[in-house]
Amino acid sequence: MTTLPTANQNFLASIRAEAAQRTFHPYGTVRCLGDPLFRNQAARNLGCLLDVDREVISWTCLPLALENGNDVHIPDFLVEKDHGLVVMDVKQAKARTPPPWIAHEVAARGYRYASLGADEVSSGYRLRNAVDLLRYSRWHCPLGDRIRLLAALGEHGTLSVADCFPAFQETRPIAGLSSLILNRFVEVDLDEALIGPETSVRRRRG
């Protein structure tokens, strides 16, 4: 990453300091590198989706300053995916389309650029399921419970959420199962409906 002029370094630092004063629900993250810093709830929502995106390796908040003459832009995220690095922004409902120079500047650094609308981020069931799971982002599923559940799934292929409960003998079932989903030992469909007792659970492959 290229060295920024002092003025832009100061601007980036001020934006990060301002974001550090704000808190948005949920508080925990799984794949965020560094401090979780969000300018608004829409950016926090996208962070939730990044944590449950199977292509995402890690993500960083307010990562760099992009410049074009006198214009400076601080994107919401730098996301490491299986296929490379992506700079991402969340657009508020009334915000203007990002100027073309942002995508050009991102490409010049060897990244891709993506801008998502706040409504797009919050549509469907995925965000609501991600928020529910991230309540348990700091929870650790004990080894014994993990092995019991993976063995049961190895035998049966899939189990309902309710059928997974007997495997959890050392921790709370929902907390343990959420931890295993967030840490990619098992997976559920986050788009079809809200997670419930009948939701199918299967081992994560690949």
Tokens for 163? 């059928």
User: Is the distance from CB of 77 to CB of 47 less than 8 angstroms?
Assistant: yes
pLDDT tens string, the chain, 206 residues long: the values are: 445 556 688 899 999 999 999 999 999 999 999 999 999 999 999 999 999 999 999 999 999 999 998 899 999 999 999 999 999 999 977 777 788 999 999 999 999 999 999 999 999 999 999 999 999 999 999 999 999 999 999 999 999 999 999 999 999 999 999 999 999 999 999 999 999 999 999 999 86
pLDDT (tens digit, 9 = 90+) per residue, 14-42? Answer: 999 999 999 999 999 999 999 999 999 99
Instruction: Delineate the domains of the chain, giving CATH numbers in brackets.
Output: 6-122 (3.40.1350.10), 126-203 (1.10.10)
